[in-house]
Amino acid sequence: MKTEIIIHNGKKVIKKIKKDKSISYTMKGAFLGKDVKTGKQVTTTVTAKTLRQLDKAVIQARLEFEQNGSTRKEVVRIDTLEDLAEEWFKSYQTWVNSHNTLNRVRAYLDNYIIPKFGDYKPDNIESADIQLWLNDLAKKSKKTVESGVKRADKGSAKDFGAVIHKLKDIFDYGITSYGLTTNPVNTVKIPPKPKASKQRIMVLHDESLSMWLDYLGSLDNTRANRRFKLICNTLLASALRINELLALTIDDLDFENSTINVSKTLMWKTANKKEGTKGEVVCKATPKTDAGNRSVPVPLSIIEGLRDFHIEMNEYLKLHNRAETRLIFPTIYGNYMCDRNERATLKKRLASLGLPDYGFHLFRHTHASMLLNAGTNWKELQVRMGHKSISTTMDTYAELAPQRKLEAVDIFLNKISELTQ
């Protein structure tokens, strides 16, 4: 191959002639422009078969550099609101730790924002577009609340206000990161949130509780039934939340003091099709609130039952050549257990007895009712339930002490009698 340097338009060009007589021209250091991010000059190397094609290739390289934002740094193209929303969510994930929060916000994007505005160019979305959509969401939400259904259809839930706040955050992110100039959500008026009638807390009173305990005692002695009975009895005795219970390990049992140490909970991490991740059960190091870190006294028989089931599950795992686990309620593979199947079983069994379907929280509420009617004060109940604020405890369980209400009448009459003697 023969190589020579020629001058073309005042620039040095390398001319190469191969053995087959084919010719190519290469220009090194072709100037494209200044990088707007670094301020440095950007050059490139261009090769073509003719000098005319070389000139065109240099011009094309400069055009592409400008189209890329006049920078060699990585540039994310934002053509639609969906593009912007996804980039915002990537950023949002880096500073939010709660899987429940991430799941909820992801649902706002997938069920509300992207279906409505995903195909729009961000700078073409006007306040009027958002206001009309928001008003429609508010109407749907009101109908849902008035109908009394427990679970609203997608796009009809009452948290439309939170959806709009997240849309505002997305536009703010676009202004900060991608050159948007205005946020159309700023002038939108959010309608008042429809108020649902307060649902009465469901508990098992003496007769219903006796029926339930008799039913549990009548179940066949299978591993699945032993697990189900232990879950129900432990929740009733401790007032733990179901996912606090399923997160327990053998190390959380204090045999000396007959207590359960609560320091973690399980959560469902939603799948993300765009990132190619599957849904999975994950363990969060702290419970729902800091106050959720607590030591809960329970009968020793509960502690022993949890220990025995842990031993039983490890024997099963060893029998099937699987690694042992510290978990008390593992799956048959030794992993964290999702509560979905147990919830379905509970619902079916409660319905068969004509008892209220309130999920596993039924046992937590029943426990609270038993303590209140026995005279436990609110502060003691707050600590046992793992509530951050005593007002949460009082707002939730104020209606659960009918016996104490009747005692209030007796206290009043006794005091009046004492004063009028």
pLDDT digits (tens, 9 = 90+) for 277-293: 777 888 887 655 565 68
Q: Are 356 and 347 contacting, i.e. CB atoms less than 8 angstroms apart?
A: no
**Of 22-36, 71-85, 127-141, 227-241, minimum mean pLDDT range:** 71-85
Are 281 and 384 found together in one domain? yes
Would you say residue 412 lies in a domain?
A: no
pTM of the model as a whole = 0.64
Most confident of 90-99, 193-202, 228-237: 228-237
Question: Cβ atoms within 10 A of the Cβ of 45, count?
Answer: 11
pLDDT at 75 over 50: no
Least confident stretch, 77-81, 211-215, 387-391: 387-391
Q: What is the pLDDT of residues 38-65, one digit of tens each?
A: 778 888 888 888 999 989 988 988 888 7
- When the pLDDT of each residue in the chain is averaged and rounded to a whole number, the result is 84
Determine the Cα–Cα distance for residues 240 and 68; give it in Å rounded to an integer. Answer: 56
Between CA 391 and CA 88 the distance in angstroms is 35
- What CA–CA distance (Å, rounded) separates 320 from 238? 32
Q: How far apart are CA 221 and CA 330, in angstroms?
A: 19
Predicted pLDDT of residue 157: 64
For residues 176 and 87, give the distance between their C-alpha atoms in angstroms, rounded to a whole number: 12
363-413 per-position pLDDT tens digit: 988 888 888 777 777 788 788 888 777 777 777 766 665 555 555 556 556
417 in any annotated domain = no
**SS3 letters across 52-115:** HHHHHHHHHHHHHHHHCCCCCCCCCCCCCHHHHHHHHHHHHHCCCCCHHHHHHHHHHHHHHHHH
| Distance from C-alpha of 374 to C-alpha of 326, rounded to nearest angstrom | 36
Residue 146's pLDDT band, with cuts at 50, 70 and 90, is confident
Closest CA to 353 of 199, 201, 204: 204
Instruction: Specify if 222 maps to a domain.
Output: yes
What CATH number should be reported for the domain holding residue 157? 1.10.150.130
Domain co-membership, 162 together with 210: no
User: Do 270 and 400 share a domain, yes or no?
Assistant: yes
**314 versus 280: which is more confidently predicted?**
314
* Residue 197 belongs to some domain of the structure: no
Please check whether residues 97 and 243 belong to one and the same domain. no
In a domain, 75, yes or no: no
Total structural domains within the chain: 3
Q: How far apart are CA 109 and CA 84, in angstroms?
A: 11
Instruction: Give the DSSP per-residue string, 265-315.
Output: EEEEE--BTTTTBPPEEEEESS-SSGGG-EEEE--HHHHHHHHHHHHHHHH
Cβ atoms of 253 and 234 within 8 Å: the answer is: no
Percent of the chain whose predicted confidence (pLDDT) is above 90: 40
Are 137 and 212 found together in one domain? Answer: no
Angle at 341 between CA 340 and CA 347, to 5 degrees: 90
Window from 59-63, 155-159, 188-192, 302-306 with minimum mean pLDDT = 155-159
Claim to verify: residue 128 and residue 216 sit in the same structural domain: no
Which CATH number covers residue 361? 1.10.443.10
* Mean pLDDT within 135-163: 76
Q: Are residues 154 and 212 in the same domain?
A: no
Both 243 and 382 in one domain: the answer is yes
Instruction: Report CA Rg, the chain.
Output: 33
Q: What's the rounded Cα separation, in Å, for the pair 143 and 318?
A: 54
State which residues form the domain around 281: 206-405
Segment 411-418 shows an average pLDDT of 59
Q: Is residue 248 scored above 60 in pLDDT?
A: yes
In a domain, 118, yes or no: yes
